[in-house]
Amino acid sequence: MTARRRAIMWSTLGVVGVAVAMLSVVAWSLARPDTSAGVGLATLREQATASSSASTSVPSSPAAPSSAADPTLSTSTIVTRAGDPEAVAEAARPAAPPVSITVDSVGVDAQVDPVGVESDGSMTIPASPSRVGWYQFGPAPADGAGNTVIAGHVDTAAEGPGALFRLREVNIGDQITVVDAEGVSHLFEVAGKETVVKAALPVEEIFARDGRPLLVLITCGGEFQPELRSYSDNLVVTALPVA
């Protein structure tokens, strides 16, 4: 073999080696579902704030004098309510809780349990990954404002993949149906998908009880940390109600 042919052979092999290294990583990252897409939760909530503040007039609150002597009263209609316990309980009756959720595009079909909080302050997640939990202290789909929060294990060591296992494959525009205890179907459309480091999860925004009505689905994602038996990130999917 001449030196020249040998040189060509080695350079070809070098190029092929680099190409294999790069292609394998690129192909892997392309094959994965996007971990974020669409419009994020924060933006969705801001959009609503901007549009609502534009359409509603700012209430005129009289500037209080600092001396605070005999301030003028704006005696608009003041609502009075019966104070007896039965009437108060009836007025505060909560909206029907969600009982099931389906996302046909990624094969999600799960029963929904009302859940609260653990002693460490984190949201309770149903132990079985085949069920998902609805944060019962926050809004329900029938409420006119705030976020309906539904979360489930992506998987558990005991039972394997969960109902939300393929949630990360969801695409913007996919439809989600939530049925409540009164049999009413609430249709939503995926608007955003975000992967958030758990420590930085914007809980105030996720569990907001005011603002435009949204559906927020949460499961786990990111790198698995075996020593903690936990994932590094939360996958947060945000959906808007379809009128």
Partner 1 sequence: MRFALIAATALVALPLAVAAPAAASGSNASVTVVHGVPGLTVDVYANGEELLADFEPGTVTDPVSLPAGSYDLAVFAAGEGPDGTPAIEANDVTVPAGANVSVVAHLTASGDPVLTPFVNDVTRVAAGQARLTVRHTAAAPAVDIRAGGAVAFPALTNPNEAKTDLATGTVEADVVLAGTSTVAIGPADLALAEGTNTIVYAYGSAEDDTLALAVQTISGLHSTPAGVPSGNAGLVDDQLPLTVGLLAVGGLMVAAVAGVRLRRTARQN
Give the shortest CB-185-to-partner 1 separation in angstroms: 25
Q: Which of 82, 145, 184, 242 binds partner 1 (CB under 8 A)?
A: 82
Q: Would you tell me how many other CB atoms lie within 10 Å of the CB of residue 89?
A: 9
Q: Would you tell me how many other CB atoms lie within 10 Å of the CB of residue 227?
A: 5
107 touches partner 1 by CB under 8 A: no
54-80 burial: b if 16+ Cβ within 10 Å, else e: eeeeeeeeeeeeeeeeeeeeeeeeeee
**Chain residues 7-46 in contact with partner 1, contact rule CB under 8 A:** 7, 10-22, 24-25, 28, 32, 35
In the block, which residue shows the tokens 């758990």?
198
243 touches partner 1 by CB under 8 A: no
183 touches partner 1 by CB under 8 A: no
58 touches partner 1 by CB under 8 A: no
Q: How far apart are CA 189 and CA 175, in angstroms?
A: 5
Q: Which of 56, 60, 120, 144 binds partner 1 (CB under 8 A)?
A: 120
Q: Which of 75, 144, 227, 243 binds partner 1 (CB under 8 A)?
A: 75
Two structure tokens written together for 189: 């459309």
84 touches partner 1 by CB under 8 A: yes
139 touches partner 1 by CB under 8 A: no
Q: Give strand pairing partners of 109.
A: 102
- Identify which of residues 55 and 72 has a Cβ nearer to partner 1 in the complex: 72
